[in-house]
């Protein structure tokens, strides 16, 4: 582990818990440039004198990547949670050089030939299965990085990679800035009619922070934004139809005009991705993407998406008819519009299931939800999670730190939790990322313990009350915790395949979506709920209504995800220049098969679709549904064991831990699933959980 000197740049404290109290934008460039020089020298030395063995080649490659990855990972993390102009400038200065070094290493002919010699040599058979898979993955990654290209093609490939990195960063920054820029201040209480107290509290607090110091939840003014904890509750509860429309239109046109327009960036990104795929010998970027995933090919993904579309389309059509009828009966003369759907869906859900989502918030204060979540982890996986706040610096006062131990009290891992929305400097959405990965190459006792970041954007506390969570926010927390478990409970000691590393992208959502299922389990949900004022658990009858409501609008919800997944594939499966279709043409074509209310003519939601243009989901958004098949089927094992049988659940949970959570990227995901389940996955459990089974 790293030892710290007072004068040392904190970005260089490789392997240590980060000194977030000392990480400043001004330190980024000198740290990264020093590491790039060190890494270049190490790589050149390895190329000049490598042995085609595990210790002579693979371990040095891991060490080079780990040192640079630690520092660059910190920079990327801060870009997401503590963004600033100074940090953006520092990131931009070195990003191109970081990408260039990554390509330099991936395209190294001596390294590639050394890996080939290792694979073909007599020593390969002596490697264990994890090591063999790593070697194969490194060879595939090198091919995808252009190692086989000629000099001129490789130069062009590298130009593409550098530009794509810059475009992704600009895309994300534009979305953050556009979200931060738009606001509407309500001075007239009529504009807030129907909205819950929790929304009034947060929007009044928002107003106080932006020039209205006297704002109160009762009297306003209230500052509405496009931040999810504001936008979604207003669309669901705001009775002012014109203002719902304004927010909806602003949201689907974010980052689509002026200096923040991502439209030209999308066209350029798609063109560059297609050119890159063709350079590597693939017909399309979709084909390139699938070459490194669990799904065998694009046709297999098409088949699953179509199977799910056929199962959900008629149900979604009925959902829409139900909404239209309900809205007519309750006074809306105008046809249902896109900004009406969330509002009337919430009214219909309240009527059918006799509870209001907002009324659930007091039952889910964050501290109690965490207690219940950690109790579930102990019951299923035999781990204890204890708060360790103050043991290490954090990047914001709201961030918490936790330690994870096994049954004997041995430290397994740690994680940071950054739960609340901060639209000023934190990007939206929720994610898990690694701070440190498990590896035997570094550690006081031979193994470095993994450390994770869990980041959400839930409703922040107001006043002296804790954050009161919606049920959806509880689901999101469970989801990200599932990712964290796979990172933290890995038993793989090779850093190149431990935790979430080297797991095919369409399998990586398995543990996260699996954990969501427990929010519909009586003992779990009642155990994590305590009314913030009375201490009473969630009433039994309300739990039954929540469980019954799980399938409410399941057809619509599934069709929405299929729209995103199908659009993503459609954008990446052909040459944009050759087809003559614009991005909007493709969107309209896909929407005709996967939506019932077509997008607005001015809809530009793709301009804020960071998953595929600034994240890792390009030609891979289908992964959510692919992995949901796996996760639902995995939860089916617990259902078959008997959810009320604590011993059976515990036994099944330990088996899940020793397969899905422990094996990480060291074993092909189909093998991992079959070791846990005893057979290949099927979509029946997903359709059954969704209420869409035939």
Q: Which residues are catalytic?
A: 480
* Residue that has been written with the tokens 């499966």 in this structure: 573
Dihedral, 363, 365, 366, 371 alpha carbons, nearest 10: -70
Distance between CA 633 and CA 372 in Å, rounded?
24
What is the dihedral sign for C-alpha 621, 625, 629, 634? positive
Dihedral, 396, 26, 28, 95 alpha carbons, nearest 10: 110
Helix (H) or strand (E) holding 665: none
Q: Identify which of 373, 350, 394, 392 has the alpha carbon closest to the alpha carbon of residue 194.
A: 350
Phi first, then psi, for residue 365 (nearest 5°) are -70, 135
What is the dihedral sign for C-alpha 240, 241, 247, 251? positive
Distance between CA 143 and CA 164 in Å, rounded?
18
> Concatenated DSSP letters for 505-541?
GGGTTHHHHHHHGGGGSHHHHHHH---TTT-PPPPHH
Distance between CA 685 and CA 331 in Å, rounded?
39
> Concatenated DSSP letters for 374-402?
HHHHHHHH--EEEE-TTSS--SSTT-EEE
C-alpha to C-alpha distances, 429 to 92, 175, 609, nearest whole angstrom? 23, 12, 11
Residue 1 has which token pair? 């582990």
Distance between CA 453 and CA 128 in Å, rounded?
30
The strands making up 431-436's β-sheet, listed across from edge to edge, are 384-387, 400-405, 411-420, 451-458, 431-436
- Angle (nearest 5°) at CA 227 between 229 and 224: 90
Give a three-class secondary structure readout of 26-54.
HHHHHHHHHHHHHHHHHHHHHHHCCCCCH
Please state whether the peptide bond connecting residue 304 to the residue before it is cis, i.e. omega within 30 degrees of 0. Answer: no
Dihedral, 124, 103, 168, 482 alpha carbons, nearest 10: 20
C-alpha to C-alpha distances, 269 to 518, 563, 587, nearest whole angstrom? 39, 20, 16
């Amino acid at each position: 582990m790293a030892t710290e000197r007072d004068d040392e740049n904190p970005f260089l404290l490789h392997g240590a818990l980060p000194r977030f109290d000392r990480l400043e934008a001004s330190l980024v460039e000198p740290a990264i440039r020093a590491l790039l020089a060190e890494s270049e020298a190490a790589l050149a030395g390895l190329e000049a004198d490598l042995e085609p063995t595990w210790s002579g080649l693979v371990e040095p490659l891991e060490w080079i990547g780990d040192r640079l990855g630690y520092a660059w990972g910190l920079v990327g993390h801060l870009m997401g949670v503590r963004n600033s102009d100074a940090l953006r400038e520092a990131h931009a200065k070195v990003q191109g050089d970081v990408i260039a070094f990554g390509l330099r290493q991936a395209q190294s002919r001596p390294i590639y030939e050394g890996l080939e010699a290792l694979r073909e040599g007599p020593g390969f058979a002596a490697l264990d299965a994890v090591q063999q898979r790593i070697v194969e993955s490194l060879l595939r990654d090198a091919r995808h990085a252009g190692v086989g290209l000629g000099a001129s093609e490789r130069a062009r490939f590298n130009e593409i990679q550098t530009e794509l990195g810059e475009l992704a960063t600009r895309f994300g920054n534009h979305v953050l800035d556009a979200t931060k820029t738009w606001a509407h201040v309500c001075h007239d209480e009529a504009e807030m009619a129907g909205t819950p107290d929790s929304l009034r509290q947060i929007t009044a607090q928002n107003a106080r922070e932006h020039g209205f110091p006297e704002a109160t939840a009762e009297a306003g003014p209230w500052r509405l934004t496009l931040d999810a904890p504001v936008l979604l509750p207003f669309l669901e509860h705001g009775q002012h139809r014109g203002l719902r429309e304004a927010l909806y239109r602003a949201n689907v046109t974010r980052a689509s005009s002026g200096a923040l327009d991502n439209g030209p960036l999308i066209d350029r990104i798609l063109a560059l991705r297609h050119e890159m795929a063709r350079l590597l010998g693939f017909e399309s970027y979709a084909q390139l993407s699938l070459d490194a995933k669990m799904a065998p090919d694009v046709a297999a993904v098409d088949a699953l998406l179509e199977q799910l579309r056929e199962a959900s389309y008629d149900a979604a059509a009925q959902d829409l008819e139900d909404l239209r009828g309900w809205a007519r009966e309750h006074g809306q003369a105008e046809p249902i519009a896109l900004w009406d759907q969330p509002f009337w869906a919430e009214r219909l859900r309240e009527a059918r299931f006799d509870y209001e989502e907002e009324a659930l918030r007091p039952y889910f204060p964050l501290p109690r939800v965490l207690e219940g979540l950690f109790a579930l982890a102990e019951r299923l996986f035999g781990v204890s999670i204890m708060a360790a706040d103050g043991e290490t610096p954090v990047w914001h006062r709201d961030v918490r730190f936790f330690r994870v131990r096994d049954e004997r009290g041995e430290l397994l891992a740690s994680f940071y939790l950054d739960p609340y929305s901060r639209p000023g400097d934190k990007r939206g959405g929720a994610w898990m990322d690694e701070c440190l990965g498990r590896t035997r190459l570094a550690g006081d006792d031979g193994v470095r313990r993994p450390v994770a970041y869990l980041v959400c954007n839930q409703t922040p506390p107001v006043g002296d009350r804790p954050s009161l969570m919606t049920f959806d926010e509880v689901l999101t927390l469970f989801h990200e915790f599932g990712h964290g478990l796979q990172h933290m409970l890995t038993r793989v000691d090779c850093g190149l395949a431990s935790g979430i590393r080297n797991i095919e992208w369409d399998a990586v959502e398995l543990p996260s979506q699996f954990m969501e299922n427990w929010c519909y389990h009586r003992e779990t949900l009642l155990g994590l709920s305590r009314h913030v004022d009375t201490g009473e658990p969630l009433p039994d009858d309300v739990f039954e209504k929540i469980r019954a409501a799980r399938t409410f609008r399941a057809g619509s919800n599934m069709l929405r995800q299929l729209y995103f997944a199908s659009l993503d594939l459609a954008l990446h499966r052909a040459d944009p220049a050759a087809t003559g279709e614009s991005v909007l043409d493709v969107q309209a074509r896909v929407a005709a098969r996967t939506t019932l209310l077509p997008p607005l003519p001015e809809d530009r939601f793709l301009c804020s679709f960071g998953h595929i243009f600034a994240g890792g989901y390009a030609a891979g958004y289908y992964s959510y549904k692919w992995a949901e098949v796996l996760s639902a089927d995995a939860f089916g094992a617990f259902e078959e064991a008997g959810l009320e049988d604590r011993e059976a659940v515990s036994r099944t949970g330990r088996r899940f831990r020793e397969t899905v959570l422990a094996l990480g990227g060291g074993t092909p995901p189909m093998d991992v699933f079959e070791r846990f389940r005893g057979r290949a996955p099927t979509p029946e459990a997903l359709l059954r959980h969704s209420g869409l089974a035939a």
